Structure 1
Amino acid sequence: MDISTIIMMLLIGVFGGFISGLVGIGGAIIIYPAILLLPPLFGAPAYSAYMASGLTSSQVFFSTLSGSLKARKKPEFSPLLVLYMGSGMIIGSMLGGLLANLFNATFVNTIYIIIALLALILMFINIKPSLDQSSFNKPLLVMVGLFVGIISGIVGAGGAFIIIPILLVLFKLPMNTVVANSIVIAFISSIGAFIIKLIQGYIPLEDALFLIIGSIIFAPLGLKLGKKVPSFVQKWIISILIIIAIIQIVL
């Protein structure tokens, strides 16, 4: 493993970890295309879609773990919300991780783009948050979690980039509640995908190590800064990242 690859993995991990903490996502929305596209630009060997998916799953797992340890101390944290949506997602992500072997790289990239576009559309739907946050539609939380988990498992993501707009639009939760809980839900979801891809041999451990180090260090810093960032700014950051990621994959 050469020095350029080490530096590149560190920087990708730093950025992904910081973003995961800042807006409550796992970082996969930008990490996956970055791992696919950046190495060849700097003369390093290119990763296959399967390896990029595996590396992404490792980054998401550790960055969301790091961010979750901080997020669960927030007053907006809801164990009930995390339990029901997270349980559906961990089952779905393991199933998606197994199904990913059945698809080629083009299909995996297409799924990624479709879900990213859906997330982008939902981000621009303006829904007034519900004042009653005392109860949740538990069956719907589990079903939505299962669906998002399957998609997340296929592309190696934690799924927070689609969890956030769903919680905002479908469940009408305020942005601060969504950010506090989505990163924990993404962590639970990432467990299944990470384990499956590790067993399948799609996570090159040396490369993943530096990606993870950068993520763990900077996720809590992003979370700390996120407390001071207005909700509409967080929405725009997520939307811009989704647009950049789609452009990178398409081109």
Structure 2
Amino acid sequence: MTIIHILLMLSIGVGGGFIAGLVGIGGSIIIYPAILLLPPLFGTPEYSAYIASGLTSSQVFFSTLSGSIKAIKEPDFNAPLVLYMGGGMLGGSVAGAMVANLLTTPVINAVYIGVAILALILMFIKVKPHADAGHSYNHWLLIAVGAVIGLVAGIIGAGGAFIIIPVLLAIFKLPMNTVVTNSIVIACVSAIGSFAIKLMQGYVPLGNAIFLIVGSVIFAPIGLKVGRLLPNIVQKAIISILIVIAITELIF
């Protein structure tokens, strides 16, 4: 790897890690398109969708793991919420990672774009959070929804938090602080299956992944700390903007 390549991977990891902590996502919403699109612009070898997906899964797992260590100490952390939805997503992500091996690059990108558009739509659905939203959810529905999200997340190598956040806000009507704190932990649980499968499939070149991981692990807790200071409307705006950018990059 050249110095430019190393710095590029490190920078992508830093950006993804900070965003992961800032708004409670794994960073895949910007990592996956960045890995596909940026290397050719800097004269470094480009990656296939399979490798980009594998590298994304490694970044997501370690960035969410880093952020989760801090998140579980927050007052808004809810273990049952993480257990039920995270468990469903873990099973779904394993299946999705295995299915991805059978899909073509255009199909994988189409899945990513479709889910990102759905997440964006859900972000604009206005609902009033339940006063006891952290405890009054349907456990079986959480597991089922988690499994579906995990399936899609496994295909693109994501933790799925950019989908989790709109779903928890619009469908389960949880407060933003609860969503941001717990979504990064749920994404971490989900990312275990996706990362493990893609690693076994040989889609995670460790020499490249290490720089993504280092940047992510260092900056995810910093992003989480900054995120706690932001108003809900600002966090939602940041997530929405990131989704739009990612969709636009992959379409054009």
Deviations 1:116-152 (A, max 9, x none): 0000000011111111233220000000000000000
Is it true that 1:150 corresponds to 2:127 in the alignment? no
Partner residue, 1:21: 21
Deviations 1:195-238 (A, max 9, x none): 00000000010000000000000000000001100000000000
Is it true that 1:60 corresponds to 2:57 in the alignment? no
Aligned-partner residue type, residue 66 of structure 1: S
Note the 1:42-191 alignment, pairs <5 A. 42-133=42-133, 134-191=135-192
Aligned-partner residue type, residue 117 of structure 2: L
Whole-angstrom distance in 2 between the partners of 1:47 and 1:151: 21
List runs of 5+ in structure 1 lacking aligned partners: none
List runs of 5+ in structure 2 lacking aligned partners: none
Partner residue, 1:204: 205
Equivalent residues, number: 251
Aligned-partner residue type, residue 146 of structure 2: G
Whole-angstrom distance in 1 between the partners of 2:113 and 2:52: 15
Whole-angstrom distance in 2 between the partners of 1:132 and 1:176: 13
Partner residue, 1:217: 218
Aligned-partner residue type, residue 157 of structure 1: A
Deviations 1:165-221 (A, max 9, x none): 000000000000000000000000000000000000000100000000000000000
Whole-angstrom distance in 2 between the partners of 1:207 and 1:187: 20
DSSP 3-state at the match of 1:16: helix
Aligned-partner residue type, residue 75 of structure 1: P
Q: Calculate the TM-score normalised by the size of structure 1.
A: 0.99
DSSP 3-state at the match of 1:158: coil
Whole-angstrom distance in 2 between the partners of 1:19 and 1:86: 20
Give the root-mean-square deviation of aligned CA atoms.
Answer: 0.5
